[in-house]
Amino acid sequence: MSVRELFAPRPAPPSRLGFYRKFSTHAGVHLSPIALGGLNIGDKWHEYGLGSMTKESSFELLNSYFDLGGNFIDTANAYQDGRSEEFIGEWAEGREIRDQLFIATKYTNNAHHHNAKFAQQIFFAGNSAKSMHLSIESSLKRLRTTYIDLLYVHWWDYTTSIKEVMHALHALVLARKVLYLGISDAPAWVVAKANEYARCNALTPFCVYQGRWSILDRSFERDIIPMARDEGIALAPWSDWLRTPQEKAVCDALEEVAGEVGAKHINAVAIAYVMQKTQFVFPIIGGRKVEQLVTNLEALEIALSNEQIAYLDAASPIDLGFPHSVIVWDGSTNGLLNSSTGHVEFWPRAQPIKPTRKVEV
């Protein structure tokens, strides 16, 4: 056998989920470009009108995602009152594929909110070191694993210090219970301050930010994206289709662009839109049916031009507010005040990945 045969390339993946991407500037792990969201995986929230799935339908969705080449699964300690983690853990153990997966979970929410056995629940929520400890130990058991690939601070509670959070998170990394750190639903200034504290104290910084971002809600672009670009961290956006006054205009614009690029579904165009606005974007896609998953994966086949992105931007404009409305927004162009001092040429930014070849599913 020749060296070339010994190290033959892997076969082509069954879908674009199998074309992996470096996670972020500070995280060298390579992941599927779209993560499977675990919010609906589980059977505990049906009575609250928030959706749920049986174990069988959950496993079917997880199997389809993995068999299409997917390796990035996002869940949280409190999704479906912990059942999401339980189903994912049982499924991964049953297929013996735990180390082939990158599993992200979160702490901060109270996973025992609907459990009457827990009379005192104050310790099970928030950003404190105790909440973190209780949550991670429970998540490890439910996921049937010895480590979490990515642990998020689910939301910022404004009562715990950055010092306490970053030291407690770093201890989990040193113990190898957690490999990477992320933060969700927090102001940009908190993330920047936390990462600066981590760097100055030889601690593990956040490598990804998760939050709501879509063509219908672009507030994410005001401060979160510039912060993430400066920090070199990834973005894991989720979205809910908000009913807004400009919804019809946005849908019309998506339909028009879908026709131009030959896309079958406007939601796939909407996903491609956020993926191609900046680097290191890994959308989290939910849903309960395999058909929805396959429909969303069309986003990985769509290459949008700069003109098409600008057209979609115009259909859902964002008010940047002060001080962005007065000074240069993101440093990519010369603003009013700077232009009065001279002419400046700006180095182009690194661009997001766009599809270059089609993969049949």
Please report, in tens digits, the pLDDT of each residue of the chain (361 residues total): 788 888 888 899 999 999 999 999 999 999 999 999 999 999 998 887 777 799 999 999 999 999 999 999 999 999 999 999 999 999 999 999 999 999 999 999 999 888 889 989 999 999 999 999 999 999 999 999 999 999 999 999 999 999 999 999 999 999 999 999 999 999 999 999 999 999 999 999 999 999 999 999 999 999 999 999 999 999 999 998 766 778 899 999 999 999 999 999 999 999 999 999 999 999 999 889 999 999 999 999 999 999 999 999 999 999 989 988 877 656 777 777 777 788 888 888 889 999 975 544 4
Contacts by 247-253 with C-beta closer than 8 Å and gap 24+? 247/216, 249/315, 249/316, 250/215, 250/216, 250/312, 250/315, 250/316, 252/315, 253/311, 253/312, 253/314, 253/315, 253/316
Residue 356 resides in a domain? no
Distance, in Å, from the CA atom of 175 to the CA atom of 349, rounded to the nearest integer, reads: 37
pLDDT of residue 341: 81
Residue 348 resides in a domain? no
Predicted TM-score (pTM) of this structure = 0.94
Residue 165, φ and ψ in degrees, nearest 5? -65, -50
Paired sense of beta strands 178-184 and 208-212, if any: parallel
Residues catalogued as catalytic: 79
Residue 8 resides in a domain? no
Residue 6 resides in a domain? no
Token pair for residue 360? 């049949």
Supply the Cα-derived Rg of the chain in whole angstroms. Answer: 21
Token pair for residue 1? 């056998």
At 87, which amino acid appears? Answer: F
Q: What is the DSSP letter of 351?
A: P
Residue 76 resides in a domain? yes
Residue 31: helix, strand or coil by DSSP? strand
Residue 88, φ and ψ in degrees, nearest 5? -65, -45
For the chain, what's the residue count?
361
Residue 361 resides in a domain? no
pLDDT of residue 328: 65
Q: What is the DSSP letter of 2?
A: -
Contacts by 169-177 with C-beta closer than 8 Å and gap 24+? 169/132, 169/203, 169/204, 170/198, 170/203, 170/204, 172/132, 172/136, 173/204, 176/147, 177/136, 177/140, 177/146, 177/147, 177/148
Looking at the chain, list the stretches that DSSP marks H as alpha helix, in order from N- to C-terminal side. Answer: 3-6, 55-67, 83-95, 129-142, 162-174, 188-200, 220-231, 247-261, 266-275, 290-297, 306-315, 336-339
Q: Which residue has the tokens 């996903």?
A: 271
Domain count, the chain: 1
Residue 55 resides in a domain? yes
Distance, in Å, from the CA atom of 185 to the CA atom of 216, rounded to the nearest integer, reads: 18
Distance, in Å, from the CA atom of 248 to the CA atom of 44, rounded to the nearest integer, reads: 34
Domain containing 219 equals: 14-339
The secondary structure of 138-158 as a DSSP string is: HHHHHTT-S-EEEEEE-S--S
pLDDT of residue 361: 45
Q: Which among 134, 127, 210 is positioned nearest to 167, based on CA atoms? A: 127
**Reduced to 3 DSSP states, what percent helix, strand and coil does the chain have, rounded to the nearest 5?**
40, 15, 45
CATH number assigned to the domain comprising residue 68: 3.20.20.100
Residue 358 resides in a domain? no
Distance, in Å, from the CA atom of 31 to the CA atom of 9, rounded to the nearest integer, reads: 18
- 354 vs 66, 276, 305, CA distance in Å? 22, 7, 10
At 242, which amino acid appears? Answer: L
